[in-house]
Structures are given as C-alpha cells and as structure tokens.
Amino acid sequence: MTQYQEKASITRVERLSTQTLRLTMRSPLIAGAARPGQFIMIRPSERHDPLLGRPFSIHQATGSGTLQIYFNVVGRGTAILASARVDDELDLLGPLGRGYQLVKDAPACLIGGGLGIAPLLFLAKERSRGGHHAADDRIILGGRSRADVEPLVEDYAQFGLSLHCITEDGTFGEKGLATDLLITHPLSTDTVIYGCGPQPMLAALHGICVKSGNPCQVSVESVMACGMGACLGCTVMGHDDNYVHVCVDGPVFDARDLQWQL
C-alpha cells in the first residue's frame, strides 16, 4: 500500500457544533489513494510542540484530491487544528492502516457511535455507488445527545440509504444506544456490519454479532505515536493472545480477531 507525505492546503473550515469541526483540505496524493476506514497522521504544528502527529480517520476523500477530517477538540493538538484557517498548510502522512473490506454482494449495516460516525460517511458513499443491495442497506448513527449526531445527518441522507438516528438522552431520533436498534430491528443474517465507535459500543456490537452470526468489521482506536508500526504504542490484544498493531493491522479488524472486555 502506497503512503505519501504531503503538504495539504486547507480549503474550508466548518464548525459543526461547539466541540466538533470539519477541515477540508487539498491533498491529491493521499485523497486519490484513500480507502474507507483508513486514517492519516497530521502534524498540528510546525514547531516542536506538539512534536508527534495525531491520527484522524478519513471522513471523506475524492478522486479529485479533496480530503476531509471531522474531529473533536480534546487537547493541545486538536485545539491547534481548530484554529487553522483557509490556505494554512498541514503536514499529512497517509493513507495509513487497513480500512473496511467492502463485501459488495451482501447487504450492509453501518453503525457509528459518537465520533465513530465520522469515517462511515466515506464508506456510505462507496456503498451507495455499488448498487446491488443499496435498498437493504441500513445506517445507524448514535450519540449521547443531539450535537453528536445532527451535524452529519444531511451528509448521510444524500446517499438515499435507510437512515436511523438514536441518542442516549432522546434529544435526536430514538432514545437509547445505537446497538439497541439491532435488537429491536434485527438484520438478515447475511448482512455485514461495519462499526465504529467507543470500545464499550464495539464490544456490545461484537456480542450481538456472535449471537446472530452476522459478520462484523470494527474500527478501533488506540493511542498512536508513529502510525506506521514502529513504536508499539498502539497495540491491543488479539483473540489468540498475541498483540496486534492498530496502526498497521487495523484500525479495521474482523471483530472476532480481537479480545473484548464485555
């Protein structure tokens, strides 16, 4: 898989809620090679602080060179990114990791929780192009509250796939957890589930899929320093008691290949 180090110029900055922003960049090499579920490392600053790049899922990428990330401000690196302006340049490395393995001839359920709804947009677009089972496909967007889900609803709605929203406090869509909708509206057993979200949600998703027999791919997060398999910082335990690197073996895994704390 080819990776590129590229200076990307920012073409648009959108604040979508009090904590979330979307950056649109021009990055022809990385955008042209990117697959849904892959990520990039961004150096937030040209100075030494912070020194390390920060990993972000690819929110959207086009063949014409547009690349987007959707992120939450949580610390120093993301605060610097949040202050970026149009025409600023960022150092990017990518596309990195293994993305989703799209199964074209089976129905799909894309299920995202919290910031996990960010990378699934690229997958939804890819999926809507495939055609075969688009009418049976389902997208579930979950979050704690309205602000976690509402900003991306229109982006998802454009693909014409069946869209379900759910929030823990009931302020947008149904009330409950994203995984609740798999219990109340069961899927056909051949549906492939593509998940992204916090660890407890993915563990619950794995538990449901073990019982139902649905194939399930999940994108997991880990703290990353290099993003390229060199620092061992991102390892998680595989099902066979061996460590796997989230940055190069993932971030997307078959859920059965990992150990889960239920």
Binding site for ligand FES (CB under 6 A): 224-227, 229-234, 245, 247
Query: In a 3-state reduction of DSSP, which class is residue 95?
Result: strand
CB of 38 to ligand FAD, least distance (A): 9
The tokens describing 69, both together, are: 């990330």
Nearest CB to ligand FAD, comparing residues 188 and 259: 259
The tokens describing 77, both together, are: 């690196």
Nearest CB to ligand FES, comparing residues 32 and 233: 233
CB of 95 to ligand FAD, least distance (A): 11
Nearest CB to ligand FAD, comparing residues 161 and 226: 226
CA 141, 144, 147, 153: dihedral to nearest 10 degrees? 10
Residue 131: Cβ-neighbour burial (10 angstroms; 0-12, 13-18, 19+): exposed
Nearest CB to ligand FAD, comparing residues 106 and 153: 153
Polymer length of the chain:
262
Half-sphere exposure of 46 (CA within 13 A, CB side): 5
Cβ pair 113, 30 in contact under 8 A: no
Identify what 227 binds: ligand FAD, ligand FES, none; CB under 5 to 8 Å per kind.
Answer: ligand FES
Nearest CB to ligand FES, comparing residues 108 and 224: 224
Per rule CB under 6 A, is residue 3 in the interface with ligand FAD?
A: no
Alpha-carbon gap, residue 153 to 207, rounded angstroms: 27
φ, ψ at 130 (rounded to 5°): -65, -35
The interface region with ligand FAD, picked from 4-12, 22-30, 55-63, 210-218 by CB under 6 A, is 55-63
Site string for ligand FAD, 116-155 (x = CB under 6 A): --x-------------------------------------
Per rule CB under 6 A, is residue 186 in the interface with ligand FAD?
A: no
CB neighbours (10 Å) of residue 234? 25
CB neighbours (10 Å) of residue 245? 22
Catalog residues that contact ligand FAD under the rule CB under 6 A: 39, 50, 54-57, 69-72, 74-78, 115, 118, 221-224, 251
